[in-house]
Amino acid sequence: MELATRHNVHEKAMQETILIADDDAEIRDVLRCTLERAGYIAIAAADGGEALSALREMQFELLITDLQMPECDGLELLDALRYRQIAPKVIAMSGAWDGVCLPAASKLGALAAIHKPWRTQDLLNIVRAVLDGEPAPSPATLN
């Protein structure tokens, strides 16, 4: 990649804000650090309730949410987003890659999914694709 192109990608990322919702503090921290190193602004929430509060406070371009959390889980969070006039794009995340939660997340508006644990470059490729309105790289696409 040419230097000018890399600079433009980094500059574009600097303007984009991502909300992370996950009840696992270690995963939240790893995601936040990974996204910040890639040039994004990343805010972390411990569950869906905290994420909804953050969404009331500021606008996010992207939400990465775990599907299985106590209190307000990722599916409840996605359902709540359906009633907002301005909602972020969504990537669903799950450690339990099953045939129930991920299709339900797709029906509620998630554009892509990533399985825990993930490879950093796969995560960043999916984030960039979703933010750019492009199809997420396989196997991340929800069908």
Bigger pLDDT: 96 or 13? 96
Give pLDDT tens digits for 100-115.
667 778 888 889 988 8
Express each pLDDT in 48-97 by its tens digit.
999 999 999 999 999 999 888 887 778 888 888 888 778 899 999 887 75
Query: What dihedral angle (degrees, nearest 10) is formed by the CA atoms of 93, 138, 33, 85?
Result: -60
Q: Which residues contact 38 (CB under 8 A, 6 or more apart)?
A: 10, 13, 124, 127
* 16-49 pLDDT per residue, tens: 999 999 999 999 999 999 999 999 999 999 999 9
| Domains delineated in the chain | 3-131 (3.40.50.2300)
What's the pTM? 0.83
Per-residue CA distances from 108 to 1, 9, 17, 37, 115 (Å): 36, 29, 21, 30, 18
